[in-house]
Structure formats: structure tokens, C-alpha cells
Amino acid sequence: MKLLNTGLPSRHYPAALGLVSALAVLAAGGLNALALVAAPLLLLAGVLLGRQLVKKEAAMQQAIADFLASQTSLGEQVVPVWCNHIEASRSQMEQAVNALSERFGGIVDKLGEALRTASQETDSIDSGDEGLVAVFARSEQTLGAVVSAQQNAMSSMVNMLERVRGLESFINELEGMAFEVAKIAQQSTLLSLNAAIEAARAGEQGRGFAVVAKEFRMLSTQSGKTGKSMAEKVRHISEAIVQTCAVVQTAVEQRDKRAHTTEASIKQVLTDFKGITDKLQSASGLLKEESHGIQAEVNQALVEMQFQDRVSQILTQVIGNMGRLPEVLQAQQQAHAHSGQLQSHDPQDMLDEMKKSYVMADQHVIHQGGQVQSSAAVTDISFF
């Protein structure tokens, strides 16, 4: 501490100096008239000068007291206002950041719920007997079985048509047999006529043979009628078989066409359904990935918002250090009032006290006059 010497004995310096001067004049001049006049004048001048010095010193002391009082008043009135403003700003910032953190926390919770839902939906698509992929596989297998059944039915109808067409050869054989029967009947008739003629030539001896020839002719006539009837029946059967083959051929062609159309439609439906399934699966995966990314970004934003704790600690320490300033000014005023001496305060004491309260490395860097490096680059965050 430095002391400015303004002690009370200094007010007597002029009077003492006047007294010494008067004694010196008397001692030097003796008791002559000039010495007797000069000595009292010097003493009076010293007393007057001492009184003037006392007045000036009193005025100076009063000015110092007023200055210290004004400094104390400044510290007691202005510094609390500064502290209140800083505290209000710190409180508002803390409330705003806390509210924002709560909102971000709610967003994180909602994103987590959405992510769980998306994960469940994705799992339901990708895995499980009831998953969309499994349903698609079963549907594809079932529809494939339907197409195979239609193809088998078509094969059966084609085989039946071939079998029916194979009857045409038997019809041709039957027609040939009917023709042979008619031919045999015709020849038998001619033979019976010749036999009758020969029996007539034989006379009475050929009468019995004539009866046989007559019966043979009747039998050949009946055989000819039967052959014609067989040929007629075979013709009707052949026509019916031909018509049946035509109808079956038309049905086979139409059913084959419908089968191909159905198969193409089923394949197109399966292809479209597979495309939708792939897109849905891709969209679900992308949604899950984006949800993870957004959740990570929001969590990082919440971590970055912890700057409020550091700022709040620093501002609280600044407010506390500012609150000590009125105490220092008041201590100076009390010391001057007690001792009459003006004591200057060393700022290093307050700086040392401030340094003791630091809890972060940045504060020590700033205290030493350095610059704090940014720990993270500022990034643009889009909220949607």
C-alpha cells in the first residue's frame, strides 16, 4: 500500500518558519527599531500563511472526502444496477435456453418414437411370416400354383382333344367295314340270284336248293340294309366327332389365350407389387436412416446448448467480482476518514481474487490477455 503524506503537523510549518525568522532577525539586528518591527511582521506573516495553508489543507481534505464519498456512492448505486442488468440478462438467457432445450428434448423424444415406429414397420416389411416380403413370396408362390394349374388343365384339354381326334381313324375303319359289309351283301344277293336261276333249271330236284337260295337272298338283303345303316350311323358319329373336335379346339384356343393373358396379368401385378415393395422398403430404410441423422443432430445441438452453463458461471463470477468494488471503495473512504491519509488500492489484489474463482481454462487465457480459440465451427442447422 502507498501512503500520500498529508499529516496535520504540516499546518504549523509557516508559523514555525515565521518564528524562526523573527528570532533570527532579532539575533542579527539586536534590539534596534528595524529588528523590532521586522520580527513581529515575519511572525505575523508566518501565522497568516499557516492559517491560509490550514484552510487549503482543510479544503483539500474535504475535496478528497467528497471524492471518496462520490466513488463510494458510485460503487453502491451504479455497480448494483450493472449487476442487476447482467443478472437479468443471464436469467433471461438461461430461461430461454432451458425452454429451447426442453423443446429440443421433446423433438428428440418424438423422433425416437417415430424411429421406433419406423423400425417396427421396417422389421415388419423385412422379416417375419407376416412381413410384406414374406406375404409377397407366398402370394407369388400361390399365384404361380394357379398358373401351373391352368397350364395343367390346358395340357389335359389338349390331350383330350388329341384322343378325340384319334377316334377319326376308328371312324374311317368303321366306314370301311360298313362298305365291306354292303359289298358282301351285294355279292351275296347276286350269288343267291344265280343259285335261284340254277335251281329253276334243275326243276323238281332243285326246289329245295331254291328255298335255300331265297333265304340266302333275304339274308344278304338284310345285311345290305344293316351295312347302309352302319354307314349312316358312322357318318353321323363322324360328323359329331368333327363338331366336337372343332368346339374343343375353339375352347382350347380361347382358354389358352385367357391363360396367357391371365399369366401376363399376374406377372405384371407381381412385378408392380414387387416394385412397390422395394420402394416401400427403400423408403422405410431411408426414413430410418434420416431419423437417426436428425436425432443425432438434435442431440449435438443439445450438447452445444450447454454453453449456457459456462456463460452463466462466468456471468455469476463477474457479478460477484463487481459486487466487491463497492466494498473496496468504502474501505478507502473509511481509511481516509480514520487516518486522514489517502490509501491507493492495488488492482492486483482484486485480479488475484478473481483468478482464484476461475473454473475454466478459457477464463485463465482471457485473464492473461490471450484470445480463446473457437472449439467448434459454426454450422447451419435447419429445423423442420
Taking the C-alpha atoms of residue 48 and residue 353, their distance in angstroms, rounded to an integer, is 50
Asked if residues 42 and 289 have their Cβ atoms less than 8 Å apart, the reply is no
Q: What percent of the chain has pLDDT over 90?
A: 0
pLDDT digits (tens, 9 = 90+) for 327-341: 777 777 777 677 766
Note whether 117 and 165 are same-domain residues.
Answer: no
Note whether 229 and 343 are same-domain residues.
Answer: no
Taking the C-alpha atoms of residue 354 and residue 108, their distance in angstroms, rounded to an integer, is 39
Domain limits for position 49: 8-125+306-367
Note whether 133 and 115 are same-domain residues.
Answer: no
224 within some domain: yes
* Backbone phi and psi for residue 3, each to the nearest 5 degrees, phi listed first: -110, 130
- The pLDDT value given to residue 318: 77
Q: What is the mean pLDDT of the chain?
A: 71
118 within some domain: yes
Note whether 118 and 98 are same-domain residues.
Answer: yes
Note whether 16 and 145 are same-domain residues.
Answer: no
- The pLDDT value given to residue 125: 59
Task: Evaluate if residue 56 carries a pLDDT over 80.
Answer: no
pLDDT digits (tens, 9 = 90+) for 78-106: 566 666 767 776 777 777 777 777 877 77
pLDDT confidence bin for 18, thresholds 50/70/90: low
3 within some domain: no
* Backbone phi and psi for residue 226, each to the nearest 5 degrees, phi listed first: -65, -40
- The pLDDT value given to residue 83: 67
* Backbone phi and psi for residue 294, each to the nearest 5 degrees, phi listed first: -65, -40
80 within some domain: yes
Taking the C-alpha atoms of residue 161 and residue 342, their distance in angstroms, rounded to an integer, is 132
Looking at per-residue confidence, does 139 or 375 come out higher?
139
Looking at per-residue confidence, does 28 or 184 come out higher?
184
pLDDT digits (tens, 9 = 90+) for 262-308: 778 877 877 877 787 777 777 777 777 777 777 787 777 777 777 77
By C-alpha distance, which of 364, 355, 345 is closest to 321? 355
298 within some domain: no
- The pLDDT value given to residue 6: 41
Note whether 105 and 183 are same-domain residues.
Answer: no
Out of 280, 314, 331, a domain closes at 280
- Reported residue count of the chain is 384
Note whether 102 and 165 are same-domain residues.
Answer: no
299 within some domain: no
Note whether 24 and 91 are same-domain residues.
Answer: yes
383 within some domain: no
Note whether 106 and 180 are same-domain residues.
Answer: no
Kindly report the CA angle at 321 between 78 and 363, in degrees rounded to 5?
130
Taking the C-alpha atoms of residue 94 and residue 205, their distance in angstroms, rounded to an integer, is 153
Instruction: Collect contacts of 261-264 with beta carbons under 8 A, ≥24 apart.
Output: 262/147, 262/150, 263/147, 263/150
Note whether 267 and 319 are same-domain residues.
Answer: no
96 within some domain: yes
Q: What is the mean pLDDT of residues 369-379?
A: 56
Q: What is the mean pLDDT of residues 359-377?
A: 68
Q: What is the mean pLDDT of residues 244-262?
A: 79
pTM of the model as a whole: 0.40
Note whether 344 and 253 are same-domain residues.
Answer: no
How many structural domains is the chain composed of?
2
Looking at per-residue confidence, does 312 or 46 come out higher?
312
By C-alpha distance, which of 122, 107, 108, 128 is closest to 288? 122
- The pLDDT value given to residue 85: 64
Neighbours of 40 (CB within 10 A): 13
Question: Would you state the cell numbers that stand for residue 260, as one nine-digit string?
Answer: 396367357
Taking the C-alpha atoms of residue 101 and residue 109, their distance in angstroms, rounded to an integer, is 12
3-state secondary structure of 121: helix
Q: What is the mean pLDDT of residues 337-357?
A: 71
Taking the C-alpha atoms of residue 184 and residue 230, their distance in angstroms, rounded to an integer, is 14
Q: What percent of the chain has pLDDT over 70?
A: 68
Least confident of 8-17, 76-85, 181-190, 214-223: 8-17
- The pLDDT value given to residue 15: 61
pLDDT digits (tens, 9 = 90+) for 190-237: 777 777 777 777 777 666 767 777 777 777 777 777 777 877 877 787
pLDDT confidence bin for 35, thresholds 50/70/90: low
> CATH no. for residue 153?
1.10.287.950
Note whether 149 and 266 are same-domain residues.
Answer: yes
- The pLDDT value given to residue 382: 37
